[in-house]
Amino acid sequence: MACKCSDPTRVIKEDPGADFKKYCNVCKEYIEDLHDPVNHPKHYTNHPSGVECITITEHMGFNRGNCIKYVWRADLKHDAIEDLKKASWYLEREIKRRAK
């Protein structure tokens, strides 16, 4: 784990006031390369906008939200084609639901 100062004497601490993000006690900067596969998976938080996928999709219905989720992470995981097929599946399901 690295911070901006990369001071070898630093102590990395968790800040409960910031969702337990880790920070360097030397430069007081939050450490960016945390991996939290449960609360903030990288394939949902690495978007260039800095926006986390769930921030957008939680305001959509289930099918549309999942469609967006799979498109969002398609280039951030190992199998983009599979994710795009999943997105298409949810989109088709939503179209069929609305067409009834």
Q: Which residue has the higher pLDDT, 77 or 80?
A: 80
Is pTM beyond 0.85 here? Answer: no
Which among 95, 39, 99 is positioned nearest to 64, based on CA atoms? Answer: 95
Within 10 Å of residue 66's Cβ, how many Cβ atoms? Answer: 19
Please, which pLDDT band fits residue 1 given cuts at 50, 70 and 90? very low
* Residue range 13-58, pLDDT digits in tens: 555 555 545 666 666 566 655 567 777 777 777 777 778 888 899 9
